[in-house]
Structure 1
Amino acid sequence: MEKARADNFHLLPSPAMGIHFIDGSVGFLTSPNGTFRAAILSPGGQGGTMTLSVTGIVLTEAGNLMLLDQSDAVLWESFNYPTDTIVMGQKLPVGGFLSSAVSSSDLSVGSYWLSITASDALLQWKNLTYWKLSMNTGAYTTSSYPVEYMAMNQTGLYLLGNNGSQVVIQVNLSVSDFGIAKLDYSGQFSVSNFSGGAFNPIFAGPDDKCQIPFICGTLGLCSDDADNPVCSCPSNFHPSSQSQNPPVCVPSDSYSLPNSCISTDTSNTGNSLLVSFLSLGYGIDYFSNNFTSPVKYGVNLSVCEDLCSSDCSCLGIFYDNSSNSCYVLQNQLGSLMSNSSSDRLGFVKAIVGPSPANSGQALGFPIVALVLLPFFGFFLLATLGFFLWRRLRSSKTVKLNLNNQTIPSSEELDAFSIPGLPVRFGYEELEAATDKFKTMIGSGGGYSSTSSGRGLVYFPMFALEMHEQGRYLELADPKLEGRVSSEDVEKLVRVALCCAHEDPALRPSMVSVVSMLEGEIPSGQPKLESLNFLRFYGRRFGGASTKEESNNGQVDFTQ
């Protein structure tokens, strides 16, 4: 292979060969029929060395630019490296693709691809299919041979197999001497013929632009209006205040959209935050649902939501009511489209919390919560302590008749005191402190005494009964003197009872508890069937306190 300095590779102006120069560094190669022109740049000014064996450059009448060696063998040809366009006579083989530009002014590689497979031609966005050539109403499948390449001639667009001798899929087009097939930056694939000095589109896919994944931006709702789709935001969503093109539809200020875990921005991935699902309502669908299989069949909506909540790449779901199946939207959200015939119900995954504009503000906390939350928390701790104490004691009961035995005085107890142990009190001191054992002391906040004649009451059971009867103000501390409403107490009672569910799986997380107390999400509804153990322990405690009062000085100790 011959080595030559790049700046020693020269083209001489030759109108007969179609070579013309603007200046000493840029030349244009024109095809014999004058249809195509290729710009040839001299890289000599850039320095460096290039390894070349090229002795000739040819631009064919079909528009194929070829580099030839000394024996006129083709070293490189532009037809093998298309970008977003193919012309008549050009082949796009299986495994080949066209890639769109970013925009009309930015010709770098965009997000849309036309890929040729062994069975079809596919339009894809982010590796998700949104159109197939075989789906077009004008396409005909004529054989089952594996596809080898796509080509276009004067009469149509074809997928060919068996060395080009068999048509697998064909689309008949109006007869034209010259045409191009192009993947537009908008994501639509079109075929145009050249007549009257301009290109005129004669085929487009998809013909409904609302099926293009990003036609209306993130979560934009597309309504088809002939060739001009109308974009809007779904209900409960609004355009982002940030200047973006295309715009992004975002939820209300109480929610924010999470980032996928494959995103470069991992500040809000949602896998460790409180997640909610915002309904899109019926009559709305997503482009990929018709090209992907559900991830789950025969499940209810909650299973579908749980599946998405545990997957940081999942950003939304669609639930098919007719088949009880679940579709997931992953990695990046595209546009939505109106579809009144769809049975699918869409939900967008959202992070519960203030909007980014308010993220720097301090979180407000209700005064009632500051007062009553520790109160209920102490009750729960006392309840757990009571359960533990009962388990550590055996069922054997030793009865001590305090009236018949000699009780040592406090002075005698002091004589046998051991330094470091708790202070011991005599019987007389305990009798005086408890008003002859009518008042229980040192039992914590798990119980409450009332003046109704019922004696001691197990408070969690009492709170459960008041919740069932809707009498929440009876649970409020009288010291608050009307500064709390029944709704405030109800919210705290419901949160506390949810935290006391016997089944740990039903208990909310601390993040959920804080959000419920702040009013960002509705308070949970306690599951009464998981709180029946409070009645059981409450009745046992009530029976034990009644028995103690009737023993006339005889106290039961269990061990």
Structure 2
Amino acid sequence: MSFYLVIYHSLSHTVVWTANRNDPISESGQFRLSVTGIGIYDDSGVPVWSTPEFESGVDSLQLLDSGNLVLVNRVGDILWQSFDYPTDTIVSGQRFRVGGSIIGSKSDSDISEGDYSFSVSSSDGIFQWKKLTYFRLLMDLKSVKNSNRPVSYVVVNGSGFDMVSDPGSEVVVQVIMTTDVKSTDFRILKILPDGTIVVNRYTDKNWVTDFATPADSCRDPYRCGKLGLCAAGKCSCPHGFRVDPKTNTGCSFSNNTLSLPESCDKATSPKLNSSGEYVYVELGIGTKYFLPDFTTPVKTGVDISTCEDICSSDCSCLGFFHGRTSGSCYMIENDMGSITSSSETKDDDKLGFIKAIHSSPSHQSPSNSTKSSDIPIAGLILLPTSGMLLILLFVICMCRRILSNKAKASRKKLIIDSSEDLEMFSIAGLPVRFDHDDILIATGNFSVRIGSGGFGTVYKGILPDKTVVAVKKITALGSKGKKEFGTEIEIIGNIHHVNLVKLKGFCAQGRERFLVYEYMSKGSLDRTLFGTGPPLEWQERFDIALGTARGLAYLHNGCEHKIIHCDVKPENILLNDNMQVKISDFGLSKLLSPEQSGLFTTMRGTRGYLAPEWLTNAAISDKTDVYSYGMVLLELIQGQKNCAHVPAGNPTSTGLTETRIYFPLHALEMHEAGRYLDLVEPRLEGRVTIEEAKKLVKVALCCLHEDPSLRPSMANVVAMLEGTLPVWEPQSDLLNFLRFYGRRFTEPSMAGTGADAEVPSGFMIAPIDSSGSSVSPNSFSYMSSQQVSGPR
């Protein structure tokens, strides 16, 4: 039996990526993950596949919601990703970049690399057989070129199959698809063993082909085998040839004394100077070969005799085509494919000639039998996505004693000394336990304060190995025991995702609790977004939105213990020097003491981001985070707080004096009017397209639907942003409550007289009817920020 490391689409039983496709291992082989990367070894311990060397050590292996397998270092930087090394499939949202290629399998039963490949150039998609071009994407009638800008990557998503240019994400080449796509559908681009590129869509438990090219099966350069003649999809043999009796595929010379010469490596074999040992069999007018359409002639302005001499002197030459009008000479070297029948004799005047040698039938070389094998594939790693489950199959059978005694001895343990209950307990692996003295030294006795929040104050620290960290001093845990605290830390510390701040360690001494996180140099999003510096570019805002969505989707569905953040806001979205997004404070609600956890069932969060269900005693779910995310997304679009005082003269202002605006209502009204660019921060004028703005506004409004069950999941939000799922249409009747909140916010009675005037959170305890009107609006009041925030 043969075993592979693969990523697997479980719903359709489809392999979408394979590591060791050319080197399967036996049941005694091994898969190893170490600080140097991934390695696959045969039963003798010889490596058959591995990731490249890295400048820094590997901290973790992660399978992202997109289906991307990544290796990250201790600071969360991606060292390697499977998306950069596709095999025969591109999944929805994956960027297939210029210079990359996907290679078809040998057959449906043999997943090793075959002869067909598809690559991306700066202007087109290139189809090749044995590294010889035979088709281009723009030759397909459904491919439309929109621009002359250079192509950066190919992406397949809910809208189709596009070749895109960066920066700007301009679609250079678009493949037209008219099929209706459901929100649960999932698309892939795949090269089949016969060289056909297909865009398949998984819908209603079946694969449907939305696009396939080349549409003409005779474009396949090996459709009818060696020297077979393809016409209207049917195979026969050219005049003077017959079906090869030895292989029963392809064609050989009808004359038993003639045979095809064996090709050679012309770089190492001597050239033959005599042409007397070869004869050339003409294919006849009306036959074509794919090669002359995609290569330049080796010589022009010559006669057939000269072409023969060139071919005869080159042992790799198997034949040639000669242009009768131009005198061009095209060589067929190394491999011989199928011939096609052509009726375009007026435009194509090339004549083909096949090199032959005299030999007896008994001397002809038998063809090699085709390898075939049954491929069992096994493994198990679950991956939640929108409407699908990707599994990483890397259970390589019977990997014996992966952890040696030495590895066990080096495994880090956490020992927590409980003076309260005189118990000791340990947690294997990270995060690390720090002593209180370690925290004091690292923070310089808490000398550099970098932030604060509902749970405590954050200080900058430097560990002995010079690693910069953020140390959060927890002040809201009451009398929570060390053992219970340590158990929760184990859960949170073992959650790893590129868009979640990594918990590096903790300290529990007496009644003091500290959490040690990776340091994010640019701080929180609110500083960059609402600050006085240069505005974030639109692509940066989009990347922040997507990274935040991916992190939340992982918390909700990707880790063993589902976590609802409950306080999604710009202050809890951190950025590093590379503008990589990481969500902080996730899971801290799990650390609430018993007396405080009771408050969690009633209200928690930050004014301005709270979902309506907090105020109605409805069940709190992951859709509560979705609502808060929608509010953050609106702030990303406009570059200011949702509840704001707009100075006179601002494009959003309606008069000569300061205007109070509730931006979610403004966004709803501009959506209904189709004026999406009016919502974008004015400093980005001219740098954002209406389609880019429309996409984010619609996603944000869908997240704000009053009924939690009608909001998209964060996995769906990711899919909509990535383009693998069509953007949902916001339902105005589910957003009517915003009209009431907006009116209340802008009423003169709420205006106040100074900077400290009470500003409503946008939420209140009151019934609202289906039209968005309140019942007895004067019978209830707004909550203060302290009341709304709860145990922060």
TM-score (norm 1): 0.53
Is 2:322 aligned against 1:281? Answer: no
Partner of 2:209: 201
Q: Per-residue CA shift, 1:128-176, capped at 9, x if unaligned?
A: 1111111111111111111111111211211111325222211122343
Partner of 1:214: 222
Aligned counterpart in structure 2 of residue 149 of structure 1, from 121, 128, 153: 153
Tell which deviates more after alignment, 297-306 or 37-46. 37-46
Tell which deviates more after alignment, 314-323 or 275-284. 314-323
Is 2:195 aligned against 1:187? Answer: yes
Q: How does 1:3-82 map to 2 (within 5 A)?
A: 46=30, 50-52=34-36, 53-82=57-86
Determine if contact 1:261/1:313 at 8 Å carries over to the other structure: yes
Partner of 1:346: 352
Partner of 2:52: none
Distance 2:118 2:268 in 1: 29
Q: Which amino acid aligns with 2:264?
A: C
Determine if contact 1:99/1:109 at 8 Å carries over to the other structure: yes
Distance of aligned partners of 1:114 and 1:339 in 2 relative to their CA distance in 1, 3 Å threshold? same
Q: Which amino acid aligns with 1:356?
A: S
Distance 2:283 2:29 in 1: 58
Residue 353 of structure 1 and its aligned partner are, at CA, apart by 3.9
Q: Per-residue CA shift, 1:339-373, capped at 9, x if unaligned?
A: 121322211111134333599xxxxxxxxxxxxxx
Determine if contact 1:260/1:332 at 8 Å carries over to the other structure: yes
Q: Which amino acid aligns with 2:97?
A: P
Tell which deviates more after alignment, 314-323 or 27-36. 27-36
Distance 2:149 2:5 in 1: 45
Q: Per-residue CA shift, 1:9-34, capped at 9, x if unaligned?
A: xxxxxxxxxxxxxxxx9999999999
Q: Per-residue CA shift, 1:175-216, capped at 9, x if unaligned?
A: 434211111111111111122311111212211111111111
Distance of aligned partners of 1:96 and 1:285 in 2 relative to their CA distance in 1, 3 Å threshold? same
Determine if contact 1:131/1:205 at 8 Å carries over to the other structure: no
Residue 332 of structure 1 and its aligned partner are, at CA, apart by 1.2
Partner of 1:437: none
Distance 1:28 1:294 in 2: 42
Aligned counterpart in structure 2 of residue 329 of structure 1, from 324, 328, 332: 332
Q: Per-residue CA shift, 1:275-298, capped at 9, x if unaligned?
A: 111111111100112112233333
Between the two structures, name the one with larger relative contact order (CA 8 Å, sep ≥ 6). Answer: 2
**Helix, strand or coil: the match of 1:210?**
helix
Aligned counterpart in structure 2 of residue 262 of structure 1, from 253, 260, 265: 265
Partner of 1:234: 238
Aligned counterpart in structure 2 of residue 92 of structure 1, from 73, 92, 96: 96
Q: How does 1:447-462 map to 2 (within 5 A)?
A: none
**Helix, strand or coil: the match of 2:299?**
coil
Partner of 2:255: 252
Bigger-Rg structure (1/2): 1
**Helix, strand or coil: the match of 1:304?**
helix
Q: Per-residue CA shift, 1:415-441, capped at 9, x if unaligned?
A: xxxxxxxxxxxxxxxxxxxxxxxxxxx
Partner of 1:410: none
Q: Per-residue CA shift, 1:20-65, capped at 9, x if unaligned?
A: xxxxx99999999999999999999749894355554433332222
Distance 1:160 1:128 in 2: 25
Distance 1:318 1:247 in 2: 20
Partner of 1:417: none
Distance 2:6 2:115 in 1: 31
Residue 105 of structure 1 and its aligned partner are, at CA, apart by 1.0
Q: Runs of 5+ in structure 1 lacking a partner?
A: 1-24, 360-559
Provide the aligned length of Structure 1 versus Structure 2: 330
**Helix, strand or coil: the match of 1:199?**
strand
Distance 2:100 2:334 in 1: 25
Q: Per-residue CA shift, 1:67-96, capped at 9, x if unaligned?
A: 344444333322121100001100111111
Distance 1:231 1:110 in 2: 22
Distance 1:301 1:347 in 2: 9
Q: How does 1:390-401 map to 2 (within 5 A)?
A: none
Residue 97 of structure 1 and its aligned partner are, at CA, apart by 0.5
Q: Which amino acid aligns with 2:333?
A: Q
Distance 1:155 1:266 in 2: 51
Distance of aligned partners of 1:47 and 1:234 in 2 relative to their CA distance in 1, 3 Å threshold? closer
Q: Runs of 5+ in structure 2 lacking a partner?
A: 20-24, 37-56, 366-792
Distance of aligned partners of 1:56 and 1:249 in 2 relative to their CA distance in 1, 3 Å threshold? same
Distance 1:273 1:136 in 2: 44
Distance 2:164 2:90 in 1: 16
Distance 1:87 1:279 in 2: 46
Distance 2:312 2:7 in 1: 59
Partner of 2:381: none
Q: Which amino acid aligns with 1:104?
A: D
Distance 1:42 1:259 in 2: 35
Partner of 2:141: 137
Partner of 2:316: 313
Aligned counterpart in structure 2 of residue 294 of structure 1, from 285, 294, 297: 297
Distance 2:27 2:350 in 1: 57
Partner of 1:505: none
Determine if contact 1:31/1:59 at 8 Å carries over to the other structure: no
Residue 114 of structure 1 and its aligned partner are, at CA, apart by 0.7
Distance of aligned partners of 1:249 and 1:202 in 2 relative to their CA distance in 1, 3 Å threshold? farther
**Helix, strand or coil: the match of 1:113?**
strand
Q: Which amino acid aligns with 2:309?
A: D
Distance 1:200 1:214 in 2: 25
Distance 1:34 1:208 in 2: 27
Distance 2:194 2:334 in 1: 20
Q: Which amino acid aligns with 1:309?
A: S
**Helix, strand or coil: the match of 1:102?**
strand
Determine if contact 2:7/2:67 at 8 Å carries over to the other structure: no
Distance 1:222 1:133 in 2: 21
Determine if contact 2:164/2:171 at 8 Å carries over to the other structure: yes
Q: Per-residue CA shift, 1:209-229, capped at 9, x if unaligned?
A: 1111111111011112xxxx2
Distance 1:47 1:67 in 2: 15
Aligned counterpart in structure 2 of residue 159 of structure 1, from 143, 159, 163: 163
**Helix, strand or coil: the match of 1:79?**
helix
**Helix, strand or coil: the match of 1:107?**
strand
